């Protein structure tokens, strides 16, 4: 399963590499009529009880238009999977949700993204508390080169979430338990987090993210660097975390999207092509591009 | 068909293989040769300096029977007593046959002019010895020292020698009597500079270097690191920042004497700071070291993986927290390496210090940042320029001290790096 996914990934890269260099190529092809597709979003973009609401989001990297007019809702306590070929803007969009793109100098974002009622791109919004509310897990496990304890305790410490050492100990323990790592590391919390295996490191990063008690957790291909067994552990974990958190996950692995998510969004070259319940999107895609991608007919 | 094609591929690969391995062997040999050559050259340097400088750690002393005659101390001020006369009378009693002023003067010259200072110090410390008679080891003249160490050859004509046949005769008599002896040269480590080689020491220059480097370190490390952090982590990309970057890189290549001229023009002439002072030397060396530290620190900051920054941002750390909690500790070993390289450069720097007057002949050991002083490399330069034969070995000895300083600084740097790396 994992190896299939890997080979799929490489073929995508070779297919899409020229697109990254000359994004205009597509629009030229569009106007020439060789590849005419309606790129407006189909499916159920909006939900009733949304935790995050995105309207007309555009992202530019310098001159490159990376995200084109995307509107989508993220429901409460749901797992939203974002799939699509490499370079299609899934990660870029994900990083808009907690303003991680702010750290990129050339990046420009327009449109509105609401977390509950708060417009996170409002000038008055401070990114520090925002990121405490919207946590993030990255593609490659990136624990701090510190002890396991310090990795998990870092977030609560800087935000002042624990008033005493015992309270902090409690936060660390419960976070590690939620991340399913407690049993494996409870006797060596003072060991460096970088000494764990890849899967354990990724769970440590998840523990670090949930230690701040965010409302939303963003996961950017959290299993792409892990073996199938570690992947399965993380997937089970995601299902458990869903009870408390809203999760947005970017993945290249369509089976994974099908397994863990309730809703799936398909991105293609900066456009949001289709959104819908995961079952519906995988069994009955309405857009041709979605169907091509899901059936592996791509390229 | 296909099998045949695959064979030709293998044949081709095999044919090229021998050449590839040969290239690899040659490259390895070349590298090994380069390493051996550099070790040999380094060894040659150390051996030649060591052999030349080692004798300087021994100094010839002469055992004299000093009679602290009460009459000589019948003056108001003990400091002003004629201590030279004590030495002279002792020498006369050793060689009673010497008559005539010229011969006597030659005789007296065998003892260092510093001998009277030694006696004065003894009397000042303990006035009870006045009136008694003691056997005391006193420094011999540097020419005596040179003769005993074999640097003055007896077979050259008398007129080409610094010692006359008569003086050599006296020295031989003293040696036979066991009154001349080479002893460990404590003066070299405790005294400042002197015109007399046997009285010259490295202490003043060492203290000058320590004061100067303290100023340099205290200023250049924080300023350099702060600059690097600002440029690398906080500064927005703009043309101004690019200009600053280019200029920092250019400054690293500016000849050091230019910094000396700048120091002379700005610190001495405009701000009116004291001449020859470690304070000004430290400021000038700070200017010189800053680009090195900034460039090394920026490289160290760049080498911190971006994933660590993202991780910290991801849990909601502010920019400053990301830098101070994660980036700086990881970059610190690299920054310290850069700083030590800069400090080593500063320690060995002569040219800019000449410009601000640290080349002056200074006898006193400096006791503060504004006392006139010199530094080790300048002291080496001064001694290398001195005509006395005895300064040759002292030059090499001073180089040994300088090298010892460098090596211990590097050792401290390695130690600190290890310590910092283990913490993380």
pLDDT at B422 (0 to 100): 54
A227-A228-A229 Cα angle (round to 5): 95
Are B362 and B275 a contacting pair, CB within 8 Å?
Answer: no
At A128-167, the pLDDT tens digits run 889 999 999 999 999 999 999 999 999 999 998 888 999 9
User: B143 and B80 share a domain?
Assistant: yes
In a domain, B118, yes or no: yes
**Mean of the per-residue pLDDT values for chain A?**
84
Q: What is the CATH number of the domain that holds B273?
A: 1.10.3720.10
Q: Domains in chain B: how many in total?
A: 2
Residues B86 and B234 in one domain: no
Full domain range(s) for residue B399 = 203-420
Determine how β-strand A134-137 pairs with β-strand A246-250.
unpaired
**Whether the predicted pLDDT of A299 surpasses 50:** no
Q: Which of B345, B396, B23 is nearest to B216 (CA)?
A: B345
* B39 in a structural domain: no
- pLDDT(B156) > 60: yes
Query: Distance between CA A298 and CA B405 in Å, rounded?
Result: 67
Q: By the 8 A CB rule, do B187 and B199 touch?
A: yes
Mean per-residue pLDDT for A115-122?
90
Do B316 and A154 make contact, defined as CB atoms within 8 angstroms? no
Residues 6+ apart with CB under 8 A from B39: none
Q: CA–CA separation, A205 vs B36, rounded Å?
A: 48
| B67 domain-assigned | yes
Give the pLDDT confidence score for residue B202 in this predicted structure: 93
In A42-104, alpha helices (H): 90-96
Domain boundary among B123, B153, B185: B185
Q: Answer yes or no: is B95 within a domain.
A: yes
- Per-residue pLDDT, B6: 60
User: Using CA atoms, how far apart are residues B338 and B296, in angstroms rounded to an integer?
Assistant: 5
B299 and B260 within one domain: yes
The reply to whether B213 and B180 lie within a common domain is no
CA distance B246 to chain A (A): 20
Query: What's the rounded mean pLDDT across residues B154-164?
Result: 86
Mean pLDDT of B277-304: 94
The answer to whether A228 contacts chain B (CB < 8 Å) is no
Q: For residues B60 and B148, is the Cβ–Cβ distance under 8 A?
A: yes
Residues B405, B260 within the same domain: yes
For all residues of chain B together, what is the average pLDDT? 89
Tell me if B50 is assigned to some domain: no
Give me the residue from B309, B316, B330 closest to A131, CB to CB: B316
Inform me whether the pLDDT recorded for B1 exceeds 90: no
Distance CA B215, CA B210 (A): 9
DSSP string, B212-267: HHHHHHHHHHHHHHHHHHIIIIIPPP-HHHHHHHHHHHHHHTS-HHHHHHHHIIII
- The string of pLDDT tens digits covering residues A215-245 is 999 999 998 888 888 889 889 989 989 989 9
CB < 8 Å to B307, chain A? 138, 140, 142
Mean of pLDDT values over A252-262: 91
The pLDDT, as a whole number, for residue B68 is 85
pLDDT at B200: 92
List the single best residue of A103, A141, A204 to mutate versus B (max B Cβ within 10 A): A103
Residues B327 and B388 in one domain: yes
- What pLDDT band is residue B26 in, cutting at 50, 70 and 90? very high
Which residues in chain B are contacts of A154 at CB distance < 8 A?
Answer: 312, 315, 317, 325
Asked if residue B217 and residue B175 are part of one domain, the reply reads no
Return the pLDDT at B347.
93
User: CB of A176 within 8 A of CB of A185?
Assistant: yes
Residues B325, B292 share a domain: yes
What ipTM describes this predicted complex? Answer: 0.81
Structure tokens at B31: 């590298």
Q: Is residue B154 part of a domain?
A: yes
Whether residue B401 is contained in a domain is answered as: yes
B366 DSSP 8-state letter: P
The whole-model pTM stands at 0.81
- pLDDT of amino acid A262: 93
Is residue A289 within 8 Å of residue A279, measured between CB atoms? no
Confidence tier at A29 by pLDDT (50, 70, 90)? very low
> Does B384 lie in the same domain as B238?
yes
Between A80-89, A289-298, B218-227, B237-246, the lowest mean confidence (pLDDT) is in: A289-298
Measured CA to CA, the distance from residue B286 to residue B306 in angstroms comes to 31
Q: What is the DSSP letter of A161?
A: -
Residues B102 and B217 in one domain: no
Percentage with pLDDT > 90 across chain B: 49
Least-confidence region, from A145-154, A161-170, A173-182, B63-72 = B63-72
In-domain check, residue B34: no
- Residues B307-334 have a mean pLDDT of 91
The confidence score (pLDDT) of residue B3 equals 54
Q: What confidence score (pLDDT) does residue A37 get?
A: 63
Greater pLDDT, A15 or B215: B215
Residue B301's closest CA among B323, B286, B278, B275? B323
* Under 8 Å between Cβ of A241 and A247: yes
Is residue A253 predicted with pLDDT exceeding 80? yes
């Amino acid at each position: 399963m994992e190896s299939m996914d890997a080979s799929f990934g490489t073929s995508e890269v070779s297919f899409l590499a020229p697109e990254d260099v000359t994004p205009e190529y597509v629009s030229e092809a569009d106007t020439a009529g060789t590849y005419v597709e309606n790129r407006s979003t189909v499916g159920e973009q909006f939900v009733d009880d949304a935790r995050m609401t995105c309207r007309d989001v555009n992202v530019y990297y310098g001159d490159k238009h990376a995200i084109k007019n995307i509107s989508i809702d993220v429901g409460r306590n749901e797992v939203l999977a974002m799939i699509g070929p490499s370079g299609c803007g899934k990660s870029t969009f994900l990083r808009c949700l907690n303003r991680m793109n702010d750290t990129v100098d050339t990046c420009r974002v327009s449109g509105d993204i609401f977390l509950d009622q708060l417009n996170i791109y409002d000038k008055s919004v401070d990114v520090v508390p925002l990121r405490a509310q919207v946590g993030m897990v990255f593609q490659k496990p990136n624990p701090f080169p510190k002890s396991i304890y310090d990795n998990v305790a870092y977030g609560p410490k800087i935000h002042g979430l624990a008033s005493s050492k015992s309270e902090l100990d409690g936060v660390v323990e419960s976070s590690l338990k939620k991340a399913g790592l407690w049993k494996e590391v409870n006797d060596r919390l003072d060991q460096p987090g970088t000494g764990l295996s890849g899967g354990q490191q990724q769970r440590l990063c998840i523990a670090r993210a949930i230690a701040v008690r965010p409302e939303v957790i963003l996961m950017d291909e959290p299993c792409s660097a892990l073996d199938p067994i570690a992947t399965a552990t993380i997937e089970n974990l995601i299902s458990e975390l869903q009870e408390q958190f809203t999760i947005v996950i970017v993945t290249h692995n369509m089976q994974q999207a099908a397994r863990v998510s309730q809703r799936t969004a398909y991105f293609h070259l900066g456009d949001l092509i289709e959104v819908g319940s995961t079952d519906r999107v995988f069994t009955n895609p309405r857009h041709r591009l979605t169907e091509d991608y899901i059936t592996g007919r791509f390229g | 068909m296909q099998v045949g094609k695959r064979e030709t591929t293998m044949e081709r690969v095999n044919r090229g293989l021998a050449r590839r391995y040969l290239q690899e062997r040659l490259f390895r040999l070349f590298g090994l040769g380069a390493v051996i050559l550099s070790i040999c050259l380094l060894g040659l340097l150390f051996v030649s300096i060591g052999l030349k400088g080692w004798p300087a750690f021994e100094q010839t002393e002469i055992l004299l029977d000093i009679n602290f005659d009460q009459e000589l101390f019948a003056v108001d001020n003990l400091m002003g007593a004629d201590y030279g006369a004590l030495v002279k009378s002792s020498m006369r009693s050793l060689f009673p046959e010497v008559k005539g002023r010229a011969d006597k003067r030659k005789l007296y010259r065998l003892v260092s002019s510093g001998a009277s200072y030694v006696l004065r110090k003894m009397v000042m410390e303990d006035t009870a010895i006045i009136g008694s008679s003691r056997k005391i080891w006193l420094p011999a003249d540097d020419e005596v020292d040179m003769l005993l160490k074999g640097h003055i050859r007896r077979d050259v004509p008398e007129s080409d020698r610094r010692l006359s046949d008569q003086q050599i005769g006296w020295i031989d008599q003293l040696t036979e009597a066991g009154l001349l002896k080479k002893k460990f040269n404590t003066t070299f480590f405790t005294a400042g500079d002197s015109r007399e080689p046997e009285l010259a020491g490295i202490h003043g220059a060492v203290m000058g270097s320590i004061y100067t480097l303290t100023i340099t370190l205290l200023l250049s490390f924080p300023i350099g690191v702060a600059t690097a952090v600002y440029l690398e982590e906080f500064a927005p990309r703009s043309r101004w920042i690019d200009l600053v970057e280019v200029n920092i890189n250019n400054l690293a290549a500016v000849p050091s004497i230019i910094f000396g001229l700048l120091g002379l023009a700005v610190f001495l002439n405009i701000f009116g700071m004291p001449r020859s002072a470690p304070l000004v030397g430290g400021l000038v060396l700070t200017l010189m070291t800053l680009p090195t530290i900034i460039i090394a620190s920026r490289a160290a900051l760049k080498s911190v993986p971006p994933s660590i920054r993202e991780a910290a941002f991801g849990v909601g750390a502010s920019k400053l927290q990301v830098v101070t909690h994660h980036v700086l500790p990881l970059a610190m070993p690299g920054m310290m390496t850069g700083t030590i390289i800069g400090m080593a450069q500063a320690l060995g720097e002569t040219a800019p210090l000449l410009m601000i007057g640290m080349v002056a002949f200074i006898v006193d050991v400096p006791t503060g940042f504004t006392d006139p002083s010199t530094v080790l490399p300048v002291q080496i330069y001064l001694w290398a320029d001195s005509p006395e034969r005895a300064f040759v070995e002292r030059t090499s000895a001073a180089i040994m001290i300088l090298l010892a300083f460098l090596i211990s600084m590097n050792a401290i740097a390695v130690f600190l790096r290890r310590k910092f790396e283990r913490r993380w």
